[in-house]
Amino acid sequence: MEIISHSPAETEALGERWGRSAQRGLVIALSGDLGAGKTQLVRGVARGLDCQSRVHSPTFTLVNIYEGGRLPLFHLDLYRLESLEAVYRAGMDEYLQPDGVAVIEWAERLLPASGVPNTQHATRTTHFARHTRFVKLEVLDDHRRRITYEDPRL
């Protein structure tokens, strides 16, 4: 699917819809350049899960855990990790099949060299959860973002 977001509020609203319908074990794997809207999408997911905490990017801590909502939210940032092996060394692999919802920024670090976000291939090769939504965010201009995703329920 493809959506064009015209504002940060629209990006958050999409995340909120996903959060409201999220089931335990969902992984949302985000890829996109700096400023593409990844963290805004996570803010929306948190709101949809009824998490009251302030969401910010976990670049320096690798993972932020938000509890108190309908399901726990695990917000990972893999920018500083270069490969699946580095993710395992950092002890982050448990979040690939979460007891809650995991949203992973810079998820391309976990994809094969081709970078192709194919659910069946990725679940076999990187141990992603069976229910992984691969999302690519692209900056079109100062106000618009193209959000392309594969829905694991299809």
Per-residue pLDDT band at 101 (split at 50, 70, 90): very high
Q: What pLDDT sits at residue 1?
A: 92
% residues pLDDT > 90 (the chain): 56
> Which range has the worst mean pLDDT, 22-26, 84-88, 115-119?
115-119
Q: Which residue has the higher pLDDT, 41 or 85?
A: 41
CB atoms within 10 A of CB 52: 10
Q: Which residue has the higher pLDDT, 107 or 83?
A: 107
Q: Which of 103, 109, 66 is nearest to 87 (CA)?
A: 109
Q: What pLDDT sits at residue 24?
A: 94
Q: What pLDDT sits at residue 127?
A: 57
Domains of the chain: 2-150 (3.40.50.300)
DSSP 81: -
pLDDT digits (tens, 9 = 90+) for 64-74: 999 999 999 99
pLDDT digits (tens, 9 = 90+) for 9-20: 999 999 999 999
Q: Helix, strand, or coil here: 30?
A: strand
**Confidence (pTM):** 0.86
d(CA 77, CA 67): 18
Strand 101-105 with 27-32, pairing: parallel
Taking residues 27-37, report their average pLDDT.
Answer: 92
Do 29 and 110 form a contact (C-beta atoms < 8 A)? yes
